[in-house]
Amino acid sequence: MTDLLYTDVEESLRDSVRSTLQRSLDEGLPARLADEPDTDVTALWRTLAEQLGVAGLLVPESLGGVGASAREAAVVLEELGRAVAPTPFLTSAVVATTTLLSAGDETHLPRLASGEVVATLALPWTARRGAWSPVDGVVAPVAGALTADLFLVPVTDDGGETSLRALGRDDVELEPITSLDMTRPLARVTVTGQGSEIATGDAARAAVDAGLAAGAALLASEQLGLAQWSLETTVEYAKTRVQFARPIGSFQAIKHRLADLYLLLVGTQAAARQAAGVLADDPHGPEAQIATATAAAYCSDAAVRATEEALQLHGGIGMTWEAPVHTRLKRAAADRLALGTPDRHRSDLAALVDLPVS
């Protein structure tokens, strides 16, 4: 059985990531990106990569990485989710890195591990394991493309086989796409070069599926971070916001809604931790697919509900661009479409457990 509790190492990593974000991330930056999308945010990623080594968290030590597991990556994503930090950790250090690891690459991974290179898997951000097609010239929307140096592009070769190719920035043309969540910008990618082949045939498809599966499983931890922030911030607000000469947290209706939000958070944490734990222990087993589909379906909806409740219990002030709850709601809503929608994952789960779908 997967242990859902956090280890001392994981808690230490959490403290390090949180303190680094508090020092290095301007609290108002996520909101400003909506009006200033060209703001350079790469300094934050460099700090996290150089000081904490998060860029190579999943890369083996033999290739210059940390040699950690999905459990540690999940903790990092919880903290990045709480802060809606504009970093390529999910797209580069999780999805692209897992794809390269599955393909047996040893050329690009050391540069990813050092933070020297940022990579992205050039598929629509809605793609999920077993539900994608090779790229035919143009692909959109691609998350993490605007800051990427390396593009992993699955294409169809002359023999009709799937070929996973590594392209540089000179091999693609990028067109920004306006995103609901500008802390994770999207782009249209046009392939103009050939690049080099990393894997072909079944190995290529398996590598892409592995990257997408890891992304979906660990995206749940980012959504957990959003839900945690929503509950904690709203509880503090309810203690200090006074209405009718009383803190609003003293009203029974508010207490019940906060209690419901806490129960939602507990379920979200269990689902996210299970997905991360099983991914670390047996990423290719059937239990990993079930845990991923469960977490992806449950945590996506939970994050949206938690941030919506936070907005309402803040008196609706989250509808303004400047309010922190607004940025969390946009990230949660955008995440619900990422790496497969909840409905798609519920359909996958039904098939995995032999549940008829009407």
Over residues 287-299, the pLDDT tens digits come to 999 999 999 999 9
pLDDT of residue 250: 62
Q: How many CA atoms lie within 13 A of 162 on its CB side?
A: 18
pLDDT of residue 262: 93
Furthest-apart CA pair in the chain: how many Å? 75
pTM (two decimals): 0.94
Q: How many CA atoms lie within 13 A of 269 on its CB side?
A: 16
pLDDT of residue 101: 97
Give CA–CA dist 256/177, Å, rounded: 40
Single out the residue of 67, 45, 82, 91 nearest to residue 214, CA to CA. 91
Give CA–CA dist 281/261, Å, rounded: 30
Q: Rg for the chain (alpha carbons), in Å?
A: 20
Sign for the CA dihedral angle at 299, 302, 306, 311 comes to positive
The parts of the chain modelled with pLDDT lower than 50 are none
What's the angle, vertex CA 93, arms to CA 189 and CA 41, rounded to 5? 70
DSSP 353: T
What's the angle, vertex CA 178, arms to CA 340 and CA 36, rounded to 5? 130
Give how far Cα 64 sits from Cα of 91, 94, 148, 200, 244, Å: 19, 16, 20, 25, 60
Cβ 30 vs Cβ 185: under 8 Å = no
Q: What is the pLDDT of residues 79-88, one digit of tens each?
A: 999 999 999 9
Amino acid, res. 233: T
DSSP string, 80-91: HHHTT----III
